Structure 1
């Protein structure tokens, strides 16, 4: 469990820091105004964070298996939580 926790934290921190400090260049926003570029970059960072959390939900479901999607439709509680999460983001 600690291995998965540390790997997920390292993945998220690395991804979000790269986007925070290099996001204007990565997203080709260097020619835009600073205000507009920062708004787009921050929106992209937030959406990336949300997708990292969804990725984490699937990985935390079965931490010792390589195929984390096996049996996902048979677990009604998990499907309900995922459906509720997706509806609340709309």
Structure 2
């Protein structure tokens, strides 16, 4: 809920740019989701599904997790990786067709604040709300891996944007 509500707010507060004025208006019966959006949605969904599946299948071996809390630790790692995939996907979604998604991001203070808030909430949930949120505190290496997995969605998004699907 935090990611969806705050993410939507961050994206709708993007200041208008000249490129928006060059686009033709969407017809009354036009598509709600364009081909470009479908390309990005399907590409990111595939990446995130593969990452989560791989972590679920091989995560205990990769992280040498054993013992009574190994399932909780693995689920926390998967949850953390998923959240950071969403954080970076929000950044990637700022520009549907341009590669440089970080351009002028610092000028939209609300977007930066929302993304920072999302990361802060994630830290609080994982590190301090263990029993309530059914999470386990992570090591610095585990945090770094979750952030890295999320960050990998950025070059994947750049690669997806090179696939021409037409404007509609």
Structure 2 length-normalised TM: 0.48
Larger Rg, first or second structure (1 or 2) = 2
Q: Does 1:82 align with 2:115?
A: yes
Which 4+ runs in 1 deviate beyond 6 A? none
Q: Does 1:12 align with 2:48?
A: yes
Q: Does 1:65 align with 2:98?
A: yes
Contiguous gaps of at least 5 residues in structure 1: none
Structure 1 length-normalised TM: 0.85
In proportion to residue count, which structure has more helix? 1
Q: Does 1:40 align with 2:73?
A: yes
Quote the offset at 1:21 in angstroms: 0.9
Which one scores higher on RCO, CA 8 angstroms, separation ≥ 6? 2
Residue by residue over 1:20-75, the C-alpha shift from the partner in whole angstroms, topping out at 9 and shown as x without a partner, is: 0111111122xx22x32111111111110111111111111112111110110112
Contiguous gaps of at least 5 residues in structure 2: 1-36, 125-168
Quote the offset at 1:87 in angstroms: 3.4
